[in-house]
């Protein structure tokens, strides 16, 4: 029982340090695991030099390189992209993978978002203006709506029109029910 109390106290101090010091650099596997448990994450496409330096084993030069690449428009989609950018084996980054979050920011869509269309009220002409919907699909959408009633949601829309998953993956950005 004596060993448990100092360990708990040490872990509590480390926990507080990880949560309260955004510049604290992780130094051991134990610290890394605690950071993962605490839900600490670094957005690979928005990370600062300080964010990258939190990861064990990354140099200031590597951190600056990643930030410069990101600022120049390079998008990181996975841990392999980070490894390639740093010219290091991906296995070296494997321990930090749970801390990295790969979010893709499409600047164009953020600046001018696509207008959302409700397929329960849209005309054939309006639906045909949506990317990935041709005139025959637009007609099928309206005909199905008129014969079977309004679409409840995206899943109902997909099932009733027998659309493949990749088509729905594209259309879900344009449709609202």
- Residue pLDDT, tens place only, 47-62: 999 999 999 989 999 9
**pTM over the 0.75 mark:** no
Q: pLDDT digits over 25-38, tens only?
A: 999 888 999 998 88
pLDDT at residue 5, as a whole number: 45
* DSSP string across 99-144: GEE-----HHHHHSPPPPB-TTT--HHHHHTSTT--HHHHHHHHHH
Ramachandran angles phi, psi of 100, nearest 5°: -95, 135
Band (23; pLDDT cuts 50, 70, 90): confident
pLDDT at residue 170, as a whole number: 87
* pLDDT over threshold 90, residue 114: no
Question: Which of 2-16, 58-72, 163-177 has the highest average model confidence (pLDDT)?
Answer: 58-72
91-110: average pLDDT: 81
* pLDDT over threshold 70, residue 4: no
Both ends of the chain: CA-CA distance in Å?
Answer: 58
Computed over every residue of the chain, the mean pLDDT equals: 88
Q: Which residue has the tokens 């990643």?
A: 66
Q: Which residue has the tokens 């340090």?
A: 17
Band (120; pLDDT cuts 50, 70, 90): very high
* pLDDT over threshold 90, residue 113: no
């Amino acid at each position: 029982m004596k060993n448990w109390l100092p360990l708990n106290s040490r872990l509590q101090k480390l926990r507080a340090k990880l949560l309260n010091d955004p510049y604290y650099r992780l130094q051991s596997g134990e610290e890394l695991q605690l950071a993962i448990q605490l839900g600490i994450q670094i957005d690979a496409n928005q990370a600062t030099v300080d964010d990258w330096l939190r990861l064990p084993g990354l140099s200031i030069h590597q951190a600056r390189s990643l930030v410069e690449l990101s600022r120049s428009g390079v998008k990181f989609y996975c841990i392999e992209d980070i490894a390639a950018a740093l010219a290091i084996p991906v296995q070296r980054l494997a321990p930090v993978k749970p801390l990295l979050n790969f979010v893709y920011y499409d600047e164009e869509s953020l600046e001018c978002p696509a207008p959302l269309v409700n397929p329960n009220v849209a005309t054939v002409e309006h639906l045909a203006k949506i990317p990935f919907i041709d005139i025959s699909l637009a007609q099928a959408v309206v005909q199905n709506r008129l014969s079977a009633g309004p679409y409840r949601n995206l899943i109902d829309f997909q099932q009733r029109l027998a659309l493949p998953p990749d088509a729905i993956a594209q259309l879900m950005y344009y449709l609202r029910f």
